[in-house]
Amino acid sequence: MSFWDFLWFFFWTYIFISFIIILFQMFADLFRDRNLNGWAKALWIIFLVFIPFLGALIYLVVRGRGMAERQAARMMVAQSENDAYIRTVAASSPAASGSATDDIAKAKGLLDSGAITQAEYDALKARALS
């Protein structure tokens, strides 16, 4: 095998692997798209399986912009869910509420202002000290 044969083999292997990655991205986009009905998905799959290069090219031209928009929307939803989870975990952690002294002082302020009763103050104090 000469150097040029190896170079051609390497080039076509790269092209093939790139095509497979793009094909998987298209399949994932098809199955994740909630706006596309089942028959349309089935037609795209048949088109991509039996005429792969032409099907992939047409898919990218027809639905390429939508692929990027759907991916960006999924990323934003995942980020907001992650942020909400972090906020709930951080709010429930003992370190987030401050020291026990601060909690008791806040509760005493609420008791003095009449916002809570003595029983509620005692419960807040017991929780801060636990």
Q: Around Cβ 90, how many Cβ atoms within 10 Å?
A: 10
Using CA atoms, how far residue 62 sits from 7, 15, 32, 78, in Å, is 34, 22, 17, 26
Q: What is the pLDDT along the chain (130 residues), one digit of tens a residue?
A: 899 999 999 999 999 999 999 999 999 999 988 888 989 999 999 999 999 889 989 998 998 888 888 889 899 999 999 988 888 877 765 555 567 788 888 888 888 888 888 988 888 888 888 7
Distance (Å, whole) CA 60 – CA 17: 17
- In the prediction, which pLDDT does 15 show? 94
All structural domains of the chain with their residue ranges: 3-92, 97-130
- In the prediction, which pLDDT does 98 show? 63
114: left (phi over 0), alpha (psi -120 to 50) or beta: left
**Cβ partners under 8 Å of residue 90, min gap 6:** 96
